[in-house]
Amino acid sequence: MKIGIVCYPTFGGSGVVATELGKALAQVGHQVHFITYSQPPRLDFFNENLFYHEVNIPAYPLFQYPPYESALSSEMVHVARYAGLDLLHVHYAIPHASSAYLAKQILASQGIHVPVITTLHGTDITLVGKDDSYAPVVSFSINYSDGVTAVSEFLKQDTYRHFDVASDIEVIPNFIDLDRFKKQKKEHFKLAICPNDEKLVVHTSNFRKVKRIDDVLEIFCRLRKEVPSKLLLVGDGPERARIEKKARELCSPEDVRFLGKLDAIEEVLSVADLFLMPSESESFGLAALEALACEVPLITSNAGGLPELNVQGVTGFMSNVGDVDEMARNAAFILKDENLRKFKANALARARDFEISKILPLYERYYRSVLESSKGGS
């Protein structure tokens, strides 16, 4: 198949999933064309089946807001024609699904049929998409996609709850490449951060409000009274400066470190003992799956799709959003030497359920079914 993939070229979950999916599809022989406004960070290796097309957004003094959607639709049209794409797979509804709809109509007017599959990732539905400024366009572009997938059952149901959507939504969860995400020998790194054998607690995110990073600090402050431990915060985003200031007020610089954006997150996870994800909303929790793959148990909220990943009392614990006291108590329980080994083993076993080799065929099968059912359609 020849597949066009549209996504945000960022460290965010939807961009990572889209890029890893495209790479995996290319490795099994599909031709994959990425259409994005800059090179996705994980598009970092050569494969004869991989292509990258940058969306060009020419500036013009009239444009206070450059019309990215139009430029994106035009690039989809160019690539679909030039490469002979069989389908377009867009990740994150806003604005990719509506741009794809427009591209599809333009192509149809030229006698070319290219079906569109939209993958819903999370905040495109649960947060941003619900806003009146976007909701009618999100509903429309979901209904007029030829296929729609969501990364969890929760996200599927939330889409039906909040949007006027009639289409069937296929649930295909996030996945993990266990060849890359596995515990590595990085003991020197652990020793540098935890010189007195403290436990290492990690949080990675895009530092947005929805991640409740204040709760990460609150949990850690309570935990370190019980268990000698250190906290590593990985990633960057709008909340970073405020959280760094709060961390300075609450903790000593030896206890909490900010590492910024990291490509090789698996190296940090390899030496971690516990991962915190107390999010307000989380459609799946890819970062938590990456932690599990590196044998790191989880303390998460029970929001959104997290119960579909974190198994209560097995891979970690879940609590109501904001219940930092319970989260800290459970964190201390996991970190007891007699418990930690079991939780770590369970973490890896759970990650295996989401191995890419299990999830890739679900996408391929779905592509084939959409191609089949949209044959001759418009």
Q: Does 367 bind ligand GMT (CB under 6 A)?
A: no
Structure tokens at 41: 């960070």
Place of tokens 């295909």: 172
Q: Does 310 bind ligand GMT (CB under 6 A)?
A: no
328 Cβ contact partners less than 8 Å away, ≥ 6 residues apart:
218, 219, 222, 223, 226
Nearest Cα to Cα of residue 279 among 321, 237, 328? 321
Place of tokens 């997290």: 306
Q: Does 40 bind ligand GMT (CB under 6 A)?
A: no
Question: Least distance from C-beta 234 to ligand GMT, angstroms?
Answer: 14
Q: Does 99 bind ligand GMT (CB under 6 A)?
A: no
Q: Does 282 bind ligand GMT (CB under 6 A)?
A: yes
Q: Does 297 bind ligand GMT (CB under 6 A)?
A: no
Question: Least distance from C-beta 285 to ligand GMT, angstroms?
Answer: 5
The rounded distance, in Å, linking the Cα atoms of 323 and 348 is: 26
Q: Does 284 bind ligand GMT (CB under 6 A)?
A: yes
Q: Which is nearer to ligand GMT, 31 or 145 (CB)?
A: 145
Q: H or E stretch including 258?
A: strand 256-260
Q: Which is nearer to ligand GMT, 223 or 309 (CB)?
A: 309
Of 63-92, binders to ligand GMT (CB under 6 A) are 92
270 Cβ contact partners less than 8 Å away, ≥ 6 residues apart:
182, 183, 184, 185, 186, 189, 294
The rounded distance, in Å, linking the Cα atoms of 324 and 303 is: 14
The rounded distance, in Å, linking the Cα atoms of 103 and 73 is: 5
Structure tokens at 245: 């200031």
Of 136-195, binders to ligand GMT (CB under 6 A) are 151, 174
Q: Does 13 bind ligand GMT (CB under 6 A)?
A: yes
Count of residues touching ligand GMT (by CB under 6 A) = 20
The contact pattern for ligand GMT, residues 200-239, with x = CB under 6 A and - = no contact, is: ------x---x-----------------------------
Place of tokens 């198994």: 311
Question: Least distance from C-beta 91 to ligand GMT, angstroms?
Answer: 8
Handedness of CA 171, 71, 69, 283 (dihedral sign): positive
Of 104-143, binders to ligand GMT (CB under 6 A) are 121-123, 126
Cβ proximity of 320 and 215 under 8 Å: no
Cβ proximity of 278 and 216 under 8 Å: yes
Q: Which is nearer to ligand GMT, 92 or 220 (CB)?
A: 92
Question: Least distance from C-beta 249 to ligand GMT, angstroms?
Answer: 26
Question: Least distance from C-beta 290 to ligand GMT, angstroms?
Answer: 10
CA 215 from centre of chain: 20
SS3 state at 191 = helix
Of 316-345, binders to ligand GMT (CB under 6 A) are none
Q: Which is nearer to ligand GMT, 80 or 303 (CB)?
A: 303
Q: Which is nearer to ligand GMT, 51 or 92 (CB)?
A: 92
Question: Least distance from C-beta 321 to ligand GMT, angstroms?
Answer: 12
Question: Least distance from C-beta 211 to ligand GMT, angstroms?
Answer: 7
Q: Which is nearer to ligand GMT, 278 or 285 (CB)?
A: 285
Q: How many residues are recorded in the chain?
A: 378
Single out the segment in contact with ligand GMT by CB under 6 A; choices: 66-74, 190-198, 236-244, 275-283.
275-283
Inter-CA distances, 152 with 81, 155, 353, 366, Å:
33, 5, 14, 16
SS3 state at 363 = helix
Single out the segment in contact with ligand GMT by CB under 6 A; choices: 67-75, 77-85, 280-288, 351-359.
280-288
Amino acid at 63: F
* Residues binding ligand GMT (CB under 6 A): 12-15, 17, 92, 121-123, 126, 151, 174, 206, 210, 281-286
